[in-house]
Amino acid sequence: MEVVVGRIAKAHGIRGELAVDVRTDSPEQRFAIGSVLSTRLRDGSTRELTVAAARTHSGRLLVRFEQVLTRDVAETLRGALLLADTGDLPPTGDPDEFYDHELEGLRAELADGSLVGTVGEVLHSPGGELLSLEREGGTVLVPFVRAIVPVVDVAGGRVVLDPPEGLLDMS
């Protein structure tokens, strides 16, 4: 299984360097020189890219890949997702930290066991993480904070919600 570790935002400069929005807690490991990442392009095709260099710049990671030598080639990668194998991920070491792929697909239920929906994905926003819950009739975004999601039971396949009034209303 693969997990997203970054998204290519845009080309940077004229030598094929790319600005990457990082989606991993260990960019120094994922984007180390010589690392090979699977890349899913916007058209759905995939290719492998080997990291030649990486450095931080203005809140983003600038990465140069061995296979991308010009700005024109870099432009074709805009919006591509950079993927790593979940088997290569180190344990989080913190019982309150989870990888996105561990949460996706879990049942979301209330404390009384009533089903709310299924975690479709984890969204990362400047204000924090949100769980996108797939419900009958649509999607609801729930802040992924202990006050609202007091229980995460990956082994049991569920998250328990304690939502404030109105949070789960779909209008």
Token match 């990956």: residue? 154
- Specify the DSSP class assigned to residue 163: P
Alpha-carbon span 1 to 100, nearest angstrom: 12
Q: List pLDDT tens digits, range 9-26.
A: 999 999 899 999 988 877
Alpha-carbon span 15 to 28, nearest angstrom: 22
Alpha-carbon span 24 to 21, nearest angstrom: 9
The CATH T-level fold of domain 100-161 is: SH3 type barrels. (2.30.30)
Domain ranges of the chain: 2-88, 100-161
Question: Do 49 and 68 contact (CB within 8 A), yes or no?
Answer: yes
CATH number attached to the domain at 2-88: 2.40.30.60
Q: List pLDDT tens digits, range 26-69.
A: 788 889 999 999 999 989 899 999 999 999 988 789 999 999 99
Residue 88: the pLDDT is 66
